[in-house]
Amino acid sequence: MSPSSFRPAPIRTDQSNAFANNTMRVRLPAIIDETIALNPDYPPDILRHLTWLRRDLSEGARIAESELLPAGDIGDWSRALKRQRDIVASEPTWQNAEWFFAETYAYRCLIEAVRWRESGRDPFLPKKLEELHSDALWQLVERAYEPLDSPEREVRRAVEFALWGNRIDLSYAPSSERGAEISAEDLLVDDRDSLAAYLSHSRISPAGLKGGAPIYIVADNAGSELAMDLVLSECLLRHVADRVVICLKAHPTFVSDATPEDVWMMLDEMPRRGPGAAALEKELRRYWLGGQLRFLPHPYWNSSRFLWDLPPDIHASFAAARLVIIKGDANYRRTVGDALWPGHTPFADVLDYLEAPALCLRTLKSDPVVGLPTADTAAALDQVDPQWRVNGQRGLIQFKAQSSKSQ
């Protein structure tokens, strides 16, 4: 796969983008402070390395190649850092590098600092457990899993709940505070009609074509969003899909991003909650035992590589997929190259490198956005709400059919 030739340059962490600069200089150091506070029993060596990382981020220090223990992703990060040196024509810093690289690498350095590969201890677990045990999450599950009078309505509802569940992001309070309450005015693009037409058509394709291919869900956050992704997975398996594969992070990152451990914690919690959650858990385990539902971690989803730079195994899987559902803001940035496109650039044009049909479900928590209805939409929103791109209030349901390059 290769990106569109007219792709803009990725956002940088310097003063050219205030939100990216503030993320590296203020938000990430605050997250490290909170991580230290939530893990008071960390030994002095871990606390020292976290403090050093916090200082380097806030001061915009040079990005050094972290002293990573031998692991499968070392070569990937070394190549990514070399690329940043080429881009800035000097030693990159936390406040002049490409934002997607800087943010993903900062979390990789955090994971190294807490020695996660040795202990397996998730530094963000206290925050994840707080949400997992909240009544609001399980009330949302009961609402999202209530039966409706037709399969099509259930799929449409599950897609919408999966979108608004993305608001609950433990690394970003302004979005989480809005909750998962749905407002039609906040949905800037709604391609569910096109999605329904595609799923209906591909469901009755001849054997051996797309009808039996899996649907992939590239997960974002644990907690409420993961719960809605599981509701969506069960709904798809019951009505339109033969197999669903949920792609997960290989290690904790971005505070709340979902790992396999988060999935199993949620499944274990479901029987202790309401009747809908208990019924959902039984169905999900049944699908998992039968091989129809899979949970697939991969270090690529922790990397700084964009979606057109997939490793061969994921590329082959996606090329044969019936549908790829891409969840959340960071994955959206990965998909569009973390770049400031003109807002009305057609979604399908930007994603033409991706062979499979794709669905993006994303609430806006950063500047990149494509596929808006008109050339005037962004300017009109700027007048109503200058923070509309980053405050998590508004959402996108964007679908594109199979790429012309694969036909």
> Mind listing the pLDDT tens digit of every residue in the chain (407 residues)?
555 567 899 999 999 999 999 999 999 999 999 999 999 999 999 999 999 999 999 999 999 876 666 677 888 999 999 999 999 988 999 999 999 999 999 999 999 999 999 999 999 999 999 999 999 999 999 999 999 999 999 999 999 999 999 887 655 444 445 555 567 889 999 999 999 999 988 764 444 333 589 999 999 999 999 999 999 999 999 999 999 999 999 999 999 999 999 999 999 999 999 999 999 999 999 999 999 999 999 999 999 999 999 999 999 999 999 999 999 999 999 999 999 999 999 999 999 999 999 999 999 999 999 999 999 999 999 999 999 999 999 999 999 998 765 55
C-alpha dist (Å) from residue 156 to 97, 214, 241, 257, 378: 40, 19, 14, 24, 26
The token pair at 389 is 């791109």
CB-based contact 106:94 (threshold 8 Å): yes
22 token code pair: 């503030």
pLDDT at residue 6 in the model: 79
Which residue is it, tokens 């080429």?
86
Rounded to whole angstroms, the Cα distance separating 244 from 198 reads 17
- Let me know: does 396 contact 366? Beta carbons within 8 Å: no
Q: Looking at residue 184, what is its pLDDT?
A: 83
pLDDT computed for residue 209 by the predictor: 38
In the chain, % helix, strand, coil (3-state, to 5) comes to 50, 10, 35
* 104 neighbors 302 (Cβ within 8 angstroms): yes
Rounded to two decimals, the pTM is: 0.94
| Residue 344 and residue 372 in contact, taking contact as beta carbons nearer than 8 Å | yes
Catalogue all structural domains in the chain, each as residue range(s) with its CATH number: 18-122 (1.20.930.60), 126-406 (3.40.50.10880)
Per-residue confidence (pLDDT) for residue 210, from 0 to 100: 39
- Res 170: pLDDT: 59
DSSP β-ladder status, 358-363 and 215-218: unpaired
Q: How far is CA 138 from CA 60, 74, 132, 165, 178, in A?
A: 41, 39, 8, 12, 17
pLDDT given for residue 401 in this prediction: 93
